[in-house]
């Protein structure tokens, strides 16, 4: 089996976008190190970590644990009711992941943990083929968390579990013999996701962990020389999340017209949770600025961002309420036009996080991680 090893996750995303975040101005760059003119970012950094990052990953771990219990019951007692429960609770797992998806730095990207949780985009469906091969061959080495985590990143995360529960042949989970291979593999994925999330949480919160790096900036800090650089990182990932939604999840899927659309390029189409996940991605940006406090120093621009995302979510909600699944929805002109319209508020939201807020705070985002090397 071909294993997917990601040394540079950014290179995959850069295949679909070449947009970069240019420095705001020389004046803004000079202000980064000018503590006399910069706001006191310290309390805000602590608030973002304690009210957004850590609770987000704790919620993801809890969601994986809940799904583990539900799938365990399905494996023990294969019924249509239990399969429906596992599929229904999968939505909660997607929600929890979507709330932390943007934090592509620190412990999350160490040891390919981001890709272990969410391997996407899957170029040429290489990861999907690996998942199918495991199921068809009933590879026993995929049935314990330790051995599964040693395999390709594509076979141990959210999208692998989606195929188990919603992909071809998944209906058999309701009538299979107890402890069937497919069900046990799904159970192992949920266990592996919980373990990976625990590792991320430990990396953030342990003594001398990533949170301490953000709290204790300075010339001896290997990552952050100033607290302004920490805030830049948070602003960067919010901008990248909006860009990912716009360019990778939507534009790359809907294309210029319905006939040319490629709906299966979007993530989570099998479970019909594409729109739901996108909404949660955008809500996470707003949450970081509000509850996390990132936007407290720029209330005027934060209100602008909230307005743009509210407009986007308003139309996404209408589409989510329609009965057609994502692959059919994208092919319909009215729905396609609505999805294309979303680029307007998303561009506005990205402008706020990329240009307006950083300039107001005297910061410069530089290049983002979606641009490649």
Q: What backbone torsions phi and psi does residue 231 show, to the nearest 5 degrees?
A: -60, -40
Which region holds residue 268: left if phi is over 0, alpha if psi is between -120 and 50, else beta?
left
Using the predicted structure, report yes or no on whether residue 128 has a pLDDT greater than 80.
yes
User: How long is the chain?
Assistant: 373
Regarding predicted confidence, which is higher, 335 or 3?
335
CA atoms within 13 A on the CB side of 327: 6
Residue 268, CA atoms < 13 Å, CB-side half-sphere: 21
Q: How confident is the model at residue 112 (pLDDT cuts 50, 70, 90)?
A: very high
pTM attached to this predicted model = 0.88
- pLDDT value at position 370? 53
Dist CA 149 CA 112 (whole Å): 11
pLDDT (average), residues 154-181: 97
pLDDT above 80 (res 20): no
* Segment 216-228, tens digit of pLDDT: 999 999 999 999 9
Q: Tell whether the model's pLDDT for residue 8 goes beyond 90.
A: no
- Cβ-contact 301, 263 below 8 angstroms: no
Distance CA 130, CA 190 (A): 17
C-beta of residue 111 within 8 angstroms of C-beta of residue 198: no
Q: Is 311 left (phi over 0), alpha (psi -120 to 50) or beta?
A: alpha
What burial letters (b/e) apply to 26-55, b meaning 16+ CB within 10 Å? eebeebbeeeeebbebeebbebbbebbbbb
- Residue 62 in this model has a pLDDT that exceeds 70: yes
Closest CA to 204 of 108, 102, 293, 117: 108
Distance separating alpha carbons of residues 68 and 74, to the nearest angstrom: 10
**Cα-based distances in Å from 193 to 28, 58, 162, 253:** 40, 12, 13, 27
């Amino acid at each position: 089996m071909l294993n997917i090893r990601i040394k540079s996750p950014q290179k995959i995303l850069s295949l679909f976008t070449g947009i970069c975040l240019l420095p705001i101005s020389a004046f803004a760059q000079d202000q980064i190190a000018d503590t006399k003119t910069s706001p006191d970012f310290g309390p805000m950094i602590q608030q973002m970590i304690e009210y957004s990052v850590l609770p987000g990953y704790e919620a993801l771990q809890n969601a994986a644990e809940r799904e583990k219990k539900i799938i365990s019951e399905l494996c023990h007692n294969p019924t249509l009711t239990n399969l429906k429960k596992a599929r229904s609770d999968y939505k909660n797992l997607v929600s929890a992941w979507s709330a932390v998806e943007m934090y592509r730095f620190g412990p999350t990207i160490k040891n390919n943990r981001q890709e272990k949780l969410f391997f996407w985009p899957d170029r040429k469906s290489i990861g999907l083929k690996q998942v199918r091969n495991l199921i068809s061959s009933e590879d026993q080495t995929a049935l314990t968390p330790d051995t599964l985590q040693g395999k390709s990143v594509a076979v141990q995360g959210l999208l692998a579990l989606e195929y188990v529960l919603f992909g071809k042949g998944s209906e058999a989970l309701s009538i299979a013999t107890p402890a069937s291979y497919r069900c046990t593999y799904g159970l192992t994925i949920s266990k592996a996701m919980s373990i990976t999330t625990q590792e991320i949480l430990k990396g953030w919160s342990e003594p001398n962990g990533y949170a301490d790096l953000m709290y204790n900036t300075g010339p001896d800090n290997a990552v952050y020389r100033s607290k302004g650089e920490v805030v830049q990182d948070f602003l960067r990932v919010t901008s990248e999340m909006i860009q990912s939604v716009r360019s990778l999840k939507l534009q790359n899927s809907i294309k210029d017209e319905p006939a040319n659309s490629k709906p299966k390029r979007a993530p989570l189409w099998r479970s019909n949770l594409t729109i739901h996940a996108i909404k949660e991605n955008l809500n996470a940006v707003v949450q970081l600025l509000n509850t996390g406090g990132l936007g407290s120093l720029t209330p005027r621009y934060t209100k602008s961002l909230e307005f743009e995302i509210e407009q986007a979510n308003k139309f996404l909600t209408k589409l989510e309420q329609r009965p057609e699944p994502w692959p059919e929805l994208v092919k319909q002109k009215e729905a396609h036009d609505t999805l294309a319209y979303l680029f307007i508020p998303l561009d506005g939201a990205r402008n706020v996080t990329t240009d307006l807020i950083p300039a107001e705070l005297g910061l410069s985002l530089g290049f983002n991680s979606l641009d490649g090397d």
